[in-house]
Structure 1
Amino acid sequence: MGCSISGLNALYDVVQGGPDVWVNERKFKILKQIGEGGFAFVYLVKEQQGVQPIKLPKDAKYIAEDGLYALKKVLIQTDEQLDLVKQEIHASSLFNHPNLLPLLEHSIISAKGEGAWIREAYLLFPVYEDGTLLDILNGMRTKKEYFSTLSVLHIFKQICEGLKEMHTLDPPYAHNDVKPGNVLLSKIKEQLPLAVLMDFGSAASARKQVQSRSEALALQEWAAQHCSAPYRAPELWDCPSIADIDERTDIWSLGCTLYAIMYGVSPFEYSLGEADGSLQLAAMSGQVKWAPGPSPPYPDSLQKFVIWMLEPRVALRPKIGDVLVHVDKLLSKLEVDGVNGKHL
């Protein structure tokens, strides 16, 4: 159910006169498409005063003063797709955290298609003007710009805080697709950026007991559909016939994401760019090659932090609480040393 959202900075020059969409008691005008993926499309929409009174969100902080929101439309053609949409809605309803994208409204309707009735789901979210972390990293790579060490850790800590909310549920949930493309970033003038983890289309109960080869193969097939290859944990590439899978699959993805925040690309994408090979073999080896970075370079402690999370053996991989403790230690040391870096 993943769906990419492009940067939004230029989207306020929109085409007027788009169709209207009702989501429960709220009416929106579609201004422009801003993302797509699979059977899903994301639009920039503006709330309209409809015939019925506007039903405001329970949390006033999510009321957009300019009326602009992001609306995800999912075309549902099979019962399996309907189940996935319902799963995404359910997962989103479990979380309430400033670093997790809130689902403000949702509805599933039947619509008249070409000669048949089809189902559509509408999911309403806050809009983030600066787009995804991936958008920003791609733009920085072209200019050979880098985040400062302070910004790297600040962005990363917020992703971890959101993930902790998921991992500490009872039972724990895994996001299963942590990557820069699923992190929205909002630059705030004269402040460090706000990072929000989004897209819970792959989120699921984190702990699974694999007890046969057929179950292992089924998990691998599921992971191939839901977990982006450059950020996928080794146990999801080649699952043993007897295995306990838990939320530490996300910790591997976090390690890859931290590397990407630093260097603009996942470690195993970079390795493949240096030599021929496969993402699976690169990931399962756990061997990390370091891309050229800023000058002065990032501290060794940051690289060691990445390697700690990219532990192929699940039992030795840290949990989210350990990761956050280490982030705070690095931030404290940074403050004591006064080393923030001369990059962005």
Structure 2
Amino acid sequence: MGCTWSGLNALYEVVSAGQEVWVNERRYKIVRQLGEGGFSFVYLVREHTGEHPNRAPKSDPFVSADGLYALKKVLVQTDEQLELVKQEIKISSSFNHPNLLPLLEHSIIAVKGAQEGLWNQEAYLVFPVHLDGTLSDNLNTLQAQGQFFPTITVLHIFRQICAGLKHMHTGDTPYAHNDLKPANVLLSKRKDQPPQVIIMDFGSATVARKQIRSRSQALALQEWAAIHCSAPYRAPELWDCPSQIDIDGRTDVWSLGCTLFATMYGVSPFEYSLGESGGSLQLAAMSGQIKWPPGPNPPYPDSLHKFVTWMLQPNPALRPNMEDVCIHVEKLVAKFPTGMNGLWTLQNP
């Protein structure tokens, strides 16, 4: 696993700006909190080089010129949580791809719990920081201004998401992300180029292929998905799993279709449908019926709508795999060269 068990941070609480935390032999000062969710917190941190100002970071390609990084702190209170964070570390460490957020450093340390004499663990994961926000942040800004990404920007963002997922799906051990959504996609501005796209948060990632051969296995998968897979982007087979089915990376392809729709219109397709008529998100997803919002002027091309519909086949056997999706997105990019539909658009979140 490569996890480091250390007492350096024992009794040490990272809760506010100015405090420091050790991750193995590296010391970081908290600048501010970036976010939180469940049992985890994400901080903007600056590495303190101290007596070793010229020491290169462990992963040289990701050295930060200003020493800034993102630090994820995970509270570990049960054996199940410990196994989950170890799995996240293992999976994150296995990737080397420009569209997947690399894990630079990690440690798991023992800390004193709230009850006297009780010791728990905390995990610290260090990543490169991207401060231009997530795809979700940028979509919210565009929506507030009544604006949309141009078609070519939508395609270049989506092509990079596809490239990252394909790498996950086709490695020696194929992994599924399981929680792909705009909030888990980082965007970084680049001058006169489309934004760089980086998929993050592998806390829900698992091996992509699963064989379900009983009702108890199906129910267990549904319960797991209810915790780990965001409902507006969850594939139908994870809502109502058959007792006999082979699950694979096409659960991510469903999430991809929802993410492409959201990149165009600012909301997932079945959230949009429910906003129109109300009802059950599960039933809306399982029906696969898509309603198209009024779009930009000029509107998105029909070929983009057909692409979304192709990925949102309720029957996973009819859904394309990542190889098919990547081939198709390249064809669409070739049809809409840069400059046809406006300049690259990326707002400050």
Q: Which residue of 1 aligns with 2:98?
A: 98
Q: Which residue of 2 aligns with 1:27?
A: 27
Cα deviation, 1:193-216, whole Å, max 9, x if unaligned, reads 000000011111111110111100
Structure 1 residues 53 and 189: CA distance shift in structure 2, 3 A: closer
Q: Which residue of 2 aligns with 1:339?
A: 340
Corresponding residue pairs, total: 328
Counterparts of 1:101-140 in structure 2, within 5 Å, are 101-114=101-114, 115=116, 116-140=118-142
2:277 aligns with one of 275, 278, 285: 275
Q: Say whether 1:41 aligns with 2:6.
A: no
Counterparts of 1:292-311 in structure 2, within 5 Å, are 292-311=294-313
Deviation at 1:113, TM superposition (A): 3.7
How high is the TM-score relative to the length of structure 2?
0.91
Aligned-partner Cα distance in 2 for 1:93–1:305: 32
Q: Say whether 1:75 aligns with 2:80.
A: no
**Identity fraction in percent:** 68
Deviation at 1:276, TM superposition (A): 1.3
Deviation at 1:56, TM superposition (A): 3.3
Counterparts of 1:44-55 in structure 2, within 5 Å, are 44-50=44-50
Which residue identity is paired with 1:333? Answer: K
Aligned-partner Cα distance in 1 for 2:17–2:250: 47
Aligned-partner Cα distance in 2 for 1:189–1:285: 42
Aligned-partner Cα distance in 2 for 1:142–1:113: 43
Aligned-partner Cα distance in 2 for 1:17–1:156: 35
Kept in 1: contact 2:193–2:344 (CA 8 A): no
Kept in 2: contact 1:296–1:342 (CA 8 A): no
2:222 aligns with one of 220, 223, 236: 220
More deviation in 57-66 or 308-317? 57-66
Which residue identity is paired with 1:278? Answer: S
Deviation at 1:17, TM superposition (A): 6.0
Aligned-partner Cα distance in 2 for 1:60–1:321: 31
Counterparts of 1:136-147 in structure 2, within 5 Å, are 136-147=138-149
Deviation at 1:166, TM superposition (A): 0.6
Aligned-partner Cα distance in 2 for 1:315–1:160: 19
Deviation at 1:227, TM superposition (A): 0.5
Kept in 2: contact 1:111–1:119 (CA 8 A): yes
2:320 aligns with one of 293, 318, 323: 318
Which residue identity is paired with 1:93? Answer: S
Structure 1 residues 29 and 342: CA distance shift in structure 2, 3 A: closer
Deviation at 1:59, TM superposition (A): 3.4
**3-state DSSP class of the match of 1:34?**
strand
Aligned-partner Cα distance in 1 for 2:234–2:190: 31
**3-state DSSP class of the match of 1:91?**
helix
Deviation at 1:18, TM superposition (A): 1.1
1:159 aligns with one of 161, 172, 183: 161
Which residue identity is paired with 1:79? Answer: D
Segments of 4+ in structure 1 off by > 4 A? Answer: 51-55
Cα RMSD of the aligned pairs, angstroms, is 1.7
Aligned-partner Cα distance in 1 for 2:215–2:158: 36
Cα deviation, 1:152-179, whole Å, max 9, x if unaligned, reads 0000000000001110013311110110
Aligned-partner Cα distance in 2 for 1:301–1:109: 51
Aligned-partner Cα distance in 1 for 2:124–2:52: 19
Aligned-partner Cα distance in 1 for 2:321–2:53: 46
Aligned-partner Cα distance in 2 for 1:220–1:162: 26
**3-state DSSP class of the match of 2:336?**
helix
Aligned-partner Cα distance in 1 for 2:88–2:325: 26
Kept in 2: contact 1:64–1:126 (CA 8 A): yes
**3-state DSSP class of the match of 2:306?**
helix
Aligned-partner Cα distance in 2 for 1:54–1:319: 46
Structure 1 residues 47 and 58: CA distance shift in structure 2, 3 A: closer
Which residue identity is paired with 1:149? Answer: T
| Structure 2: 5+ residue stretches without partners | 1-15
Q: Say whether 1:330 aligns with 2:332.
A: yes
**3-state DSSP class of the match of 1:128?**
coil
Aligned-partner Cα distance in 2 for 1:172–1:222: 19
Q: Which residue of 2 aligns with 1:57?
A: 57
Kept in 2: contact 1:145–1:343 (CA 8 A): no
Deviation at 1:342, TM superposition (A): 7.2
Kept in 1: contact 2:76–2:123 (CA 8 A): yes
Q: Which residue of 1 aligns with 2:231?
A: 229
